[in-house]
Structure 1
Amino acid sequence: MIRAAFASLLLLAVPGAAAPADPLFGADQGDTRAVLMLVDGKVAQKRYAAGYSDANRFISWSMAKSVTALLVGMLMTDGRLQLDAPAPLPEWRNDARRTITLRQLLNMSSGLRHIEVGQPVENSDTNQTLFVSGTRDMAARAIARPLAFRPGTHFNYDSLTSIILAEIVTRTLTPSRDPRARAEAYRRFAEERLFGPAGVKTAFLEFDGSGTQIGGSLIHMSLDDWGRMGRVLLDGKGADGRQIVSPEWLAFLKTPAPTNPRYGGHVWLSPNGLVSMRGHLGQFVFTGARGGHSVVLIRLGNTREDRLDAIVPTFERIAGAALPPA
């Protein structure tokens, strides 16, 4: 049955072929707004819910974390950052946080005190920073937190960690403290090194009041451009086939964190070998390759967080069926 499903996906260009991702629009999947499936780089299915089209940009929520990690990797490749060196933050120089490395930040094991999902919701550190009292300088709020655990010993999913990484990228690119100059330096770097080579044309990045990109939550792109980002995560290659993300960096991103086998370097890892960007309310970019074949599956929409764990296996099953059996 699995081999038959794989074979049918390779024939999707045939008129009348089954649409493998249609189950993602089922009533039990929440509000699915857009789906794109690429098999071996070709469109196997593309579908929008009523009211959505190529004209829309879709919010990343936490898929932005994976984009931030790709940009960090480019600075690593350039020799401007080091994965296992202490994070280049003078604010941490004189206390125990000085041992936190970029690897630990990317693996969500920095040890910094954090509440991602608060009960009630206003107790969330992330919500307070993004939407209430931290909007003027989110990085300052994120960096100022004390340790709760020894770095490298506990996994704690932390959107503010991604803002710290975006701030490190910004400080590496420019010494300016002017918000406009900082935002422009980041935007230009992202465009020249990632979005442009990937063929992405609709990316819209949000910044806080200090010019720090909100690298854990707020990037907007069209459905097709999220597909292009999936292609980059898959093999690191741009629209023209040129390598824009080093194989070594991709290998690190896809290596399980010591503190969580389902998480890598700001990407999620599935038991069937898929690697994914994931965001609040069910934003997904699943990618995988096996036996000379590849798949990218994008789902954008609005599904209650308490229902996501039950539906993620559906995404993993559909994406995994596009690859030959292991």
Structure 2
Amino acid sequence: MITIKRLLASAALAMLGALSLVQAAGQGNIAPASAAPKFGASLDGVAATDTPQPLPALPAAIKARADALFVNAEDVGQTRALFILRDGEPIYERYAAGFGPETKLISWSMAKSITAVLTGFLVADGQLALDGPAPVAAWQRSGDPRGAITLKHLLHMSAGLEHVENGDPIWQGDTVAMLLGGGAPDMAGFAEAKPAAAQPGEIFNYSSATSVILSDILADTLTPSRSPAARRDAMREFIAGRLVEPLGMTSLTPEFDASGTMIGGSIMHATARDYARFGEFLRNHGVVNGQRLLPESWMDFMLSPSANDGGYGGHIWLNRKRPAGAQPALWPDRGPNDLFACIGHQGQYIIVSPSQRVTIVRLGVTKGEQFPALRRHLADLTAAL
């Protein structure tokens, strides 16, 4: 079990840009056919069992695009894992040296999309309301403008709270203060204490603290206890029953702060295959093995552009144009309009292209100046598919 202390130390290195590449990505190896899981084409989602099955031969053009993510490490950074599915079946799986099918890798902000799905379950259960006031006790005092913040505002990153995701230098940002500084023992308390800087729904402000607020709401809904252990247990049980077991995501490991709040904006771990299972769940609009787990209406919400940033939906990135001056997240000038992605710090991606019937997982370490090249390579790969 990875302890929170070790996780936060790792986060510090990563966020400060001091995390070195472990091996040259070009030294990766193709996973042996015997290690490849079978994801039956007849299934609506990724199968829960890993039955050996040889991978099909790929057209040279597609294989070259995929291999380029390992070979061109100087351009795109280290690719540690690349896993591609078509129609739910693996067609490519490769890892850098020292990594493999059983290696758990950090999600960073891909965790936000998992948090959104967990929120959707409780909305579907009638325990939370998307358009109702967010049930945060600190915001319920008379005259507090934060009392007007809804779950939808939080999921659209438009709550209007004062938050600086990445400071200049980075350690002066609120995210580092929350994960590593004074806010670390009670991350939700830190995030929920932020004052209003705009009206709810007025501006888009990407914020890992916002996702921690959602995690706090989830825990409060699942248990009345303030015991950190009780909150962790309630969340783990909920995730196991509603997500891990139905999807077969047995490696998924959420992390928690000392108050028992899941760090739902940035720190979860899973294997590339299990991230792919989550991607397939989204590609199939919340259906697994013919059973609908998440309402179609929730998937429609998550995948609809938010009012203040067309490239962002409900805690997930869309292949749409973003406002002028905003950094591109995907490649709307090239890829299908229905393509979307869970994206995390340092180049973690779960890319889903429903019209192409494709899910791509790329995990690794990419630095700031390498991101344009990484996006270009990923766009080339999706185009080849």
Q: Same fold judged by TM-score > 0.5?
A: yes
Shift of 1:131: 1.1
Which residue does the alignment assign to 1:197?
A: 246
Give the Cα–Cα distance (whole angstroms) in 2 for the partners of residues 135 and 213 of structure 1: 12
The 5 A counterparts of 1:245-260 are 245-260=294-309
Which residue does the alignment assign to 2:380?
A: 317
2:76 to 26, 29, 32: 29
The 5 A counterparts of 1:70-89 are 70-89=117-136
Contact 2:286 2:296 (8 Å CA) reproduced: no
Which digits, 9 at most, give the CA deviation of each residue in 1:142-166, with x for residues without a partner?
0000011111011111000000000
Contact 1:199 1:238 (8 Å CA) reproduced: no
Give the Cα–Cα distance (whole angstroms) in 2 for the partners of residues 130 and 256 of structure 1: 29
Give the Cα–Cα distance (whole angstroms) in 2 for the partners of residues 63 and 277 of structure 1: 5
Moved more, 62-71 or 24-33: 24-33
Does 2:130 align with 1:67? no
Which residue does the alignment assign to 1:3?
A: none
For the structure 1 residues 42 and 93, does the alpha-carbon distance in structure 2 shift closer, same or farther, using more than 3 Å as the test? same
Query: How many residues are treated as equivalent by the alignment?
Result: 310
Does 2:183 align with 1:134? yes
Which residue does the alignment assign to 1:289?
A: 354
Give the Cα–Cα distance (whole angstroms) in 1 for the partners of residues 383 and 199 of structure 2: 37
Does 2:229 align with 1:187? no
Give the Cα–Cα distance (whole angstroms) in 2 for the partners of residues 118 and 131 of structure 1: 14
Which residue does the alignment assign to 2:8?
A: none
Give the Cα–Cα distance (whole angstroms) in 1 for the partners of residues 354 and 317 of structure 2: 15
SS in 1 for 2:212: helix
Does 2:370 align with 1:307? yes
Shift of 1:238: 5.4
Stretches of structure 2 lacking an aligned partner (at least 5 in a row): 1-53, 320-331
The 5 A counterparts of 1:143-292 are 143-237=192-286, 239-270=288-319, 271=332, 272-273=336-337, 274-290=339-355
Q: What TM-score comes out, normalization by structure 1 length?
A: 0.91
SS in 2 for 1:21: helix
2:97 to 44, 50, 75: 50
Moved more, 229-238 or 95-104: 229-238
Which runs of structure 1 show a deviation greater than 4 angstroms over 4 or more consecutive aligned residues?
none
Give the Cα–Cα distance (whole angstroms) in 2 for the partners of residues 54 and 32 of structure 1: 14
Contact 1:235 1:247 (8 Å CA) reproduced: no
Residue identity opposite 2:361 in structure 1: I
Stretches of structure 1 lacking an aligned partner (at least 5 in a row): 1-11
Does 2:138 align with 1:100? no
Give the Cα–Cα distance (whole angstroms) in 1 for the partners of residues 99 and 181 of structure 2: 30
Percent identity among equivalent residues?
A: 43
Which digits, 9 at most, give the CA deviation of each residue in 1:62-110, with x for residues without a partner?
0000000000000011111111111011210120100011101000011
Which digits, 9 at most, give the CA deviation of each residue in 1:20-66, with x for residues without a partner?
42222222111100000001111110000111112210000000000
Shift of 1:312: 1.5
Shift of 1:174: 0.5
Residue identity opposite 1:165 in structure 2: L
For the structure 1 residues 127 and 78, does the alpha-carbon distance in structure 2 shift closer, same or farther, using more than 3 Å as the test? same
Shift of 1:205: 1.0
SS in 2 for 1:86: coil
Contact 1:108 1:158 (8 Å CA) reproduced: yes
Structure number with greater CO (CA < 8 Å, separation at least 6) is 1
Residue identity opposite 2:68 in structure 1: P
Contact 2:56 2:91 (8 Å CA) reproduced: no
Shift of 1:267: 0.3
Which digits, 9 at most, give the CA deviation of each residue in 1:270-314, with x for residues without a partner?
123211000000000000112xx5110000000003322442232
Contact 2:175 2:209 (8 Å CA) reproduced: yes
Q: What TM-score comes out, normalization by structure 2 length?
A: 0.78
SS in 1 for 2:249: coil
For the structure 1 residues 104 and 313, does the alpha-carbon distance in structure 2 shift closer, same or farther, using more than 3 Å as the test? farther
SS in 1 for 2:278: helix
Contact 2:108 2:345 (8 Å CA) reproduced: yes
Contact 2:58 2:91 (8 Å CA) reproduced: no
SS in 2 for 1:33: strand
Which residue does the alignment assign to 1:7?
A: none
Shift of 1:316: 3.0
Residue identity opposite 2:370 in structure 1: R
Give the Cα–Cα distance (whole angstroms) in 2 for the partners of residues 167 and 16 of structure 1: 45
Give the Cα–Cα distance (whole angstroms) in 2 for the partners of residues 121 and 16 of structure 1: 42
Residue identity opposite 1:295 in structure 2: V
